[in-house]
Amino acid sequence: MVRILVLDDAVHGLPVSEYVDALSEGLPEATVVHPRTTADTIQAASDAEVITGLFLPEEVLSAATELRLFAAVSAGYDHLPLGRLNEMEITVTNASGVHGPNIAEHVIGWLLMSVRGLDEGLRRQERSEWHHFQTDGELRGSTVTIVGLGAVGTAITNRLDPFGVETIGVRYTPEKGGPTDEVCGFEEIESALVRTDYLVLACPLTEMTRGLIDTDALNALSAESMLVNVSRGEVVDTDALVRVIRRGQLGGAALDVTDPEPLPQDHPLWNFQNVYITPHVAGYTPEYWSRRADILSRNLERVQESGSWTDLENQVLP
């Protein structure tokens, strides 16, 4: 019987009790514990084979002498003590894919708002103003470039398919292909940008992607193109973005993430009518804990079948 320790790390304001309930339902033969005090958590760690949470405090890790798997509840894992976990030969998995459906719908919502001028409709509604206006057009026939073809990029691509758009995927390993009509590498991105109507950033923040969308990249886009960022703010050169929007060299931007973040109240990005901003909420979903629990349940089924704690879904270490 596997013993699972759930750390008390709330995500997106959702109570951890929902995660505990989902794990208990999906793994009825496992023992799922969720202590509320630090002392009880450290004690519970001593015989836990699985620990799951957002962070892994040193005192908990030191006590976890039976630990075989740390199941992170976030897609990111660079905040974890990976060196120590590797030395202890502990497998680490993340929550990649949990956010795919909701972030993809966030992106589609922005694209539809832009192409159909729904934001202008809202402004006229606020003024109780009944006057016709010309919408920009239709998504059909446009080209959408998606940087990053992981779970989120794939979910975005799949939801775009019924709209009749052409899709270009940009990824570090283009030889792997992807769900888009065309795939290219980062070194070819400008050749993709010149054909792009909508540029969607869904990539992780790495040394390669930091500042990827700089002045040159923005200048490669047409004056009617739209930038959508649901990755990390630092992927975009914010000063360059402000300049091209101020000069009318970009059709608009939709940003769930910014650099800096939070975006200061006096930042110029707030003042552009064609810039849509949400405060890093695209990842929010009421299905978060149930999807996270499903990943851990499937992995423990693999362990039971194979007897091995490696080769798991979403494994990032070793």
Other beta carbons within 10 angstroms of residue 164's beta carbon come to 11
CA Rg value for the chain: 22
Instruction: Give the pLDDT of residue 78.
Output: 83
In this structure, are 120 and 243 located in the same domain? yes
Instruction: Give the pLDDT of residue 9.
Output: 77
Domain encompassing residue 34:
3-98+285-317
Q: What is the pLDDT of residues 191-214, one digit of tens each?
A: 999 999 999 999 999 999 999 999
- Does the structure show a pLDDT above 80 at 311? yes
Question: How does residue 135 score in pLDDT terms, banded at 50, 70 and 90?
Answer: confident
* Domains: count for the chain: 2
Instruction: Give the pLDDT of residue 285.
Output: 94
Phi, psi of 305 (to 5 degrees): -75, -40
Instruction: Give the pLDDT of residue 75.
Output: 85
In this structure, are 299 and 189 located in the same domain? no
- Does the structure show a pLDDT above 80 at 52? yes
Contact 292, 19 (CB under 8 A): yes
Contact 302, 78 (CB under 8 A): no
In this structure, are 136 and 273 located in the same domain? yes
Indicate the burial class of 125 (C-beta count within 10 angstroms; 0-12, 13-18, 19 or more).
exposed
- Does the structure show a pLDDT above 80 at 93? yes
- Does the structure show a pLDDT above 90 at 136? no
Phi, psi of 3 (to 5 degrees): -105, 120
In this structure, are 81 and 199 located in the same domain? no
Instruction: Give the pLDDT of residue 10.
Output: 75
In this structure, are 111 and 157 located in the same domain? yes
Contact 98, 150 (CB under 8 A): no
Cα 290 from Cα 300, distance rounded (Å):
15
Question: How does residue 97 score in pLDDT terms, banded at 50, 70 and 90?
Answer: very high
Contact 180, 146 (CB under 8 A): yes
Cα 172 from Cα 141, distance rounded (Å):
27
Cα 110 from Cα 116, distance rounded (Å):
10
In this structure, are 91 and 130 located in the same domain? no
In this structure, are 117 and 224 located in the same domain? yes
CATH code assigned at 232: 3.40.50.720
Q: What is the pLDDT of residues 210-258, one digit of tens each?
A: 999 999 999 999 999 999 999 999 999 999 999 999 999 999 999 999 9
Instruction: Give the pLDDT of residue 13.
Output: 82
3-state secondary structure the chain: CCEEEECCCCECCECHHHHHHHHHHHCCCCEEECCCCHHHHHHHHCCCCEEEECCCCHHHHHHCCCCCEEEECCCCCCCCCHHHHHHCCCEEECCCCCCHHHHHHHHHHHHHHHHHCHHHHHHHHHCCCCCCCCCCCCCCCCEEEEECCCHHHHHHHHHHHHHCCEEEEECCCHHHCCCCCEEECHHHHHHHHCCCCEEEECCCCCCCCCCCECHHHHHHCCCCCEEEECCCHHHECHHHHHHHHHCCCCCEEEECCCCCCCCCCCCHHHHCCCEEECCCCCCCCCCHHHHHHHHHHHHHHHHHHHCCCCCCCCEEEC
- Describe the strand order of the beta sheet including 226-229 as a list of residue ranges: 182-184, 166-170, 143-147, 198-201, 226-229, 252-255, 275-277
In this structure, are 296 and 258 located in the same domain? no
20 Cβ contact partners less than 8 Å away, ≥ 6 residues apart: 6, 32, 34
In this structure, are 261 and 120 located in the same domain? yes
| Residue 150, amino acid | G
Q: Could you give the residue numbers annotated as active site?
A: 232, 261, 280
In this structure, are 130 and 246 located in the same domain? yes
In this structure, are 221 and 313 located in the same domain? no
CA distances from 188 to 146, 182, 250 (A): 13, 12, 21
In this structure, are 19 and 136 located in the same domain? no
The average confidence (pLDDT) of the chain is 96
